[in-house]
Every structure is written in structure tokens, then in C-alpha cells.
Structure 1
Amino acid sequence: MKPCRWSMAGISFVELLVGLLLSTLVMTAALPVGTQSLRLWQQHRQQIDSRQAARFAMDFMVRQLRYTSYIYLPVPNGREAGELDFQDSDLPNPSGGILYKKSVSFRLGNGAGTRMKTLYRSVPGTSQPVTEECIANLSFHRDPSMPQQVSIEFDIWEPVARQTVGHLRTVVYCPNLSLP
């Protein structure tokens, strides 16, 4: 039997061009789908990062407030305030007794009217950010009928999308709080 000529010839230039054209068409159709998927994944990742940072901020404030001995809201009790001043827990002195109590406050913004989505923890002489651009509408509330409880509430802000992506609220019980 005689071998076929076409099996030994390889692929022709026309077949190569047709294959290249078909693969280009497939890639052109798939590129927008891949780009959209990547963009959605990045948005979702940014929302997760904002939520984690906001959760960290909430946990940080709760830990700080849980052992406080004094809380001051700059507005009368029963109303909401965007800033909370409190007395940090007593620091033990290694030689005995109490070393000092320090006044601490939480607020949004750096005091100069900028970075209004950043939570700051301030002590006399310094103000440091707790989170970066992930909190909006921070409020503290103290119910006069339950004076040892402080509720904290804020929206989770996603800076790239420039929108809120969630809401957190908790109530902190402060057993060491001095009652009036």
C-alpha cells in the first residue's frame, strides 16, 4: 500500500491562519468576561478588607471601654455623640499603688477636619489612627436607665466604591464605671 501524501505534508499556511483567526475570536469573546470577573473579585476583596478593619476597630473600642472607670459623652445622656471621652483603666505601679489614670477619646477625623472616615484614639499629647478610611457615622449612646452600658454604632465605609457596605452595633457593659 502506498502512503498518503497529505499525511506527510504537515499543516499549511492557510490552516495556520484559520486556527489563529479562530483562537483570536475566542480570546476576544473571553477577555471581557475575565476582566469583569477580576474587577468583581477586587471589589469583593476591598469590601472584605473594610469589614475586617471595621470589626477590628469595634473590638478595639470594646476592649478599651470594658474596664474604664469614667465615661463622658460631650452631649447629655440619652443622646448620641460622635465622640467619647473616657478614663483608661488604672495602670499598676511596680513599686505599689496606682501610677496614673489617663484620659482617652475616640472620634472620627484627625481634628483638623480631614480624614473623616478614619477612627482616631487620642490621649493627651497625641492622636493615632486605629483604622484607615473605613468608618462612617460613628455614634455612642448611653441610656440613663442603664448607666453602666454604652452602645457603639457605625457604618462600614468602602473607600474605593465610596459607599457604605455594612453596619455594626454593639453594647459594652462597663462594670467598673463610677455611677453618679
Structure 2
Amino acid sequence: MKRKYFVAQHGLTLIELVIGMALILCLLSGIVGLFSGSLKVWVFGKQQSHINQTARIAMDSIVKEIRYAQQITLKNTSSLVVAKVNGDIRMLQLGEGLHSKTLYVIIDKTKSIPPGGISSSPITENLVTNLQFAQHGKGKAVLVTLEVTNESTGERKLLQTACYPLNLQ
């Protein structure tokens, strides 16, 4: 009697196993490529969102200070002195040296112009590359230009607005 060795075969041959593993590796390499691409897009979007949010917060803070000012003095194109109704004097300006890209509000509680800078609080971190103020017209509108730069991509966002103080004397 002849025996049939191939009839009662159970399991996979070596060739089937190698082909299956090669197919799985091809699929996984495609998935890893998609994952790395989507991760780059996500990181870029997060950076963009951070830059936009920082610029918006800085501009909102500046506009709030100007809007509720009783007196506004333009020290130079990048520094503005704001006197509040309660007597506080605040100066909006960029920092100096290592902090030249940080927007500060310098608060002087001695109520004297120019401000003494008793306490200061940063509004933004190291992102603001340009800040300019200009007064326009008889309505004492203050034009504000704020530029924020992403250090890693070099992309710049420029915000401009005009603000009218409500409590001017």
C-alpha cells in the first residue's frame, strides 16, 4: 500500500509563512508612513493654534488697557503709557535683552508719569517680534500693530486694530 503524505497535511509551509509576513510588513510600513505624516500635521496645527492664541490674547490685553484708560501718552512708537481711572499708571512695551520678544505691562502704583515700574507682568512669552502704537485723529484712536513669529517655522502673524478709549478727559 502506498502512503499519501500530502493528504493529511496540517499547518503552514515555510513559503506560505514568508509570503504572509512580507504582506504584513508592507501593510505596516504604509500605516507607519500615514501615522508619521498625520503626526507632523497635528504638531504643525498645534503650533499654529498656539501662535494665533498668543497673538489674540496679547491684542485683547492691549485693547482692554487702552479702552479703559483715562489718559494715554505715547512714549515712542513701541511704548504706550496708560493712566487708569483709579490712578494706576501702566506702560505697555516689549522687554529688553533676553526678553525682547516678551510683551509686558509695567504697573506703577505711585501714580506718577513716567511709570516707575514697581511691578510688571508678562502678557506673552517669547513670541512678539514687533509692537507699534500710533495715535490717530482728534478722536484719540490708538492704532496697534502686533507681530508674532513662530520660532520653529518662521511664520509670522500680523494683527492690526484701532481702539478708542472710552474715558478720555
TM range (shorter): 0.7 to 0.9
Identity among equivalent positions (%) equals 27
Q: 2:140 aligns with which of 143, 148, 151?
A: 148
Q: Does 1:85 align with 2:81?
A: yes
Q: State the superposition RMSD in angstroms.
A: 2.0
**Would you say how many aligned residue pairs link Structure 1 and Structure 2?**
155
CA drift of 1:116 comes to: 2.1
Q: 1:106 corresponds to which residue?
A: 92
Deviations 1:48-78 (A, max 9, x none): 1110111011111111211101111123xxx
Equivalent runs, 1:152-167 vs 2, <5 Å:
152-164=144-156, 166-167=157-158
Q: CA deviation at 1:106?
A: 1.1
Q: Is it true that 1:53 corresponds to 2:45 in the alignment?
A: no
Structure 2 match to 1:31: 32
Letter of the structure 2 residue corresponding to residue 51 of structure 1: N
Deviations, residues 95-136 of structure 1 (Å, cap 9, x unaligned): xxxxxx121011122x3x122222111113122111112322
1:129 partnered with 2:122 = yes
Structure 1's 12 and 127: CA in aligned 2 closer, same or farther, altered over 3 A? same
The answer as to 2:100 corresponding to 1:116 is: yes
AA aligned to 1:108 is L
Higher mean Cα deviation, 114-123 or 24-33? Answer: 24-33
Counterpart of 2:143 in structure 1: which amino acid?
A: S
Q: CA deviation at 1:30?
A: 4.0
Q: CA deviation at 1:163?
A: 2.9
**Residue 175 in structure 1 maps to residue 161 in structure 2:** no
**Structure 1 outlier segments of 4+, above 6 Å:** none
Contact 2:143 2:163 in 1 (8 A): yes
TM (norm. structure 1) is 0.76
Structure-2 separation of matches of 1:139 and 1:129: 17
**119 and 132 in structure 1: CA distance in 2 versus 1, 3 angstrom threshold:** same
The one-letter code matched in structure 1 to 2:106 is: S
- Aligned-pair distance for 1:142? 0.3
Q: Distance in 1 between matches of 2:123 and 2:166?
A: 25
Question: Contact 1:87 / 1:103 at 8 angstroms: preserved in 2?
Answer: yes
Q: 1:25: Cα distance to partner?
A: 2.5
TM-score under structure 2 length normalisation: 0.81
Alpha-carbon separation, structure 1, partners of 2:83 and 2:74: 12
